[in-house]
Amino acid sequence: MTDRSDDQLVMAYARGEERALRILVERWERPVFAFLDRMLGSPEEAEDLCQDTFIKMIRAADRYRPEGKFQSWLFRIAGNLARSRLRRRKILRWLPLNTEHDTTPAPGGDALDDLTGAEDRLRVRRAISRLPERQRAALILKQYQDMSYQQIADSMDTTVNSVQMLLHRAMQALRKDLLSKRNEP
Amino acid sequence: MTPSEHPTGPELQACHDGELEDTRSARIRAHCASCAACRGELEALASVAALLAADPDRAPVRPLWNAVRPGSRGPVPLGRMGWGLGLAACAAGIAAGLVFGPVDQATTAATAKSGWTETMTIWNGQATSPLLAVFENTGD
């Protein structure tokens, strides 16, 4: 059953196969969590919203149209939740982006390499967190979820041209932020 | 595309992302071969993408299935209900204020004093029954 497409699994769940739903959740929980983690800069909040994303997905499963756009649909739910959370944060102001919380073990190498790697990762996360919300979403979906412009446009309810512009601006901002600082003495 | 006809920034981005038609992409790459400025732009995009790729995904601490499986969800945690409860409490407070009007502090103080006297009377065994004491003290 694990080799079935997302659409087939959603349809199977709609017919009452709970196991199909479990496979879907296990297949997508890490990508959705990673997207929310980068959008929000907080693994705790990402876990909370990841759970909400799947609960919403399950509730809406019977209205899903199997057109091969499950990934865009799922990330649209996650993106909308992230947007609401960020809006609420703007109101509250007292919830900072937790870009310090890096629990990812650095891959191999000696201690200095590990430290440099961790610093680079932190710099990247901070730079991403400084992007405007829509640029950040488009960039994460392209760079880390490897989605096509069309898939990103579907999940963000926009056009391919708009996605192209968002990505161009995001990459220019990151280039300024990351490469200029890297070249500083 | 002539050497003096440069692709736009978004076009270079799309070319880097492999989102252009083959012919358009080939023309841009041919242009970049002879244009240092555009080649530099493409190389910068590749450098940023490489930096981004060096940041791996973090993983959730615990698997989600038990939390989201249908029928497994208990009551909504208070944290998520906080906003709704807070707003409901505020609305109830405002409504109560509008219905009952401002509190007369002099009356409130007198009632409190009367209640204390009444309690002490019952405590000292001077009233025949607590109910009678209430009627005696409030004058009802």
The domains of chain A are located at: 1-98, 109-185
Q: Give, in order, the Cα–Cα distances in Å from A132 to each of A18, A128, A170, B82.
A: 39, 9, 8, 28
Q: Are the C-beta atoms of residues A149 and A164 closer than 8 Å to each other?
A: yes
Please answer yes or no on whether B54 and A117 come within 8 Å at the CB atom: yes
Q: Are the C-beta atoms of residues A98 and A41 closer than 8 Å to each other?
A: yes
How far is A34 from chain B, CA to nearest CA, in Å?
A: 6
How far is B54 from chain A, CA to nearest CA, in Å?
A: 7
Reference A162, options B111, B49, B10; nearest CA is B10
Q: Are the C-beta atoms of residues A85 and A45 closer than 8 Å to each other?
A: yes
Q: From A177, which residue of chain B is nearest by alpha-carbon distance?
A: B48
Task: Say yes or no to pLDDT of B135 above 70.
Answer: no
Please answer yes or no on whether A58 and B73 come within 8 Å at the CB atom: no
CA distance A119 to A104: 12
All residues at 6 or more sequence positions from A20 whose CB lies less than 8 Å from its CB, including other chains: A1, A4, A8, A9, A10, A12, A13
CATH class for domain A109-185? mainly alpha
Residues of B in contact with A172 (CB under 8 A): 9
Residues of B in contact with A151 (CB under 8 A): none
Give pLDDT, residue B86.
61
Give pLDDT, residue B91.
77
Task: Say yes or no to pLDDT of A138 above 80.
Answer: yes
Please answer yes or no on whether A142 and B17 come within 8 Å at the CB atom: yes
Give pLDDT, residue B101.
63
Q: Give, in order, the Cα–Cα distances in Å from A80 to each of A43, A104, B30, B68, B139.
A: 17, 26, 41, 19, 62
Please answer yes or no on whether B60 and A117 come within 8 Å at the CB atom: no
Looking at the domain A1-98, which fold is it?
A: Rna Polymerase Sigma Factor; Chain: A (1.10.1740)
In this prediction, does ipTM exceed 0.85? no
The first and second tokens of residue A8, run together, are: 């087939």
The first and second tokens of residue A32, run together, are: 């959705």
Among A120, A168, A171, the residue with its CB nearest the CB of B54 is A120
Give pLDDT, residue B123.
52
A10-22: average pLDDT: 92
Q: Where are the domains of chain B?
A: 9-53, 101-140
Reference A175, options B40, B32, B35, B36; nearest CA is B40
CA distance A74 to A1: 20
A47-56: average pLDDT: 96
Q: Are the C-beta atoms of residues B64 and A25 closer than 8 Å to each other?
A: yes
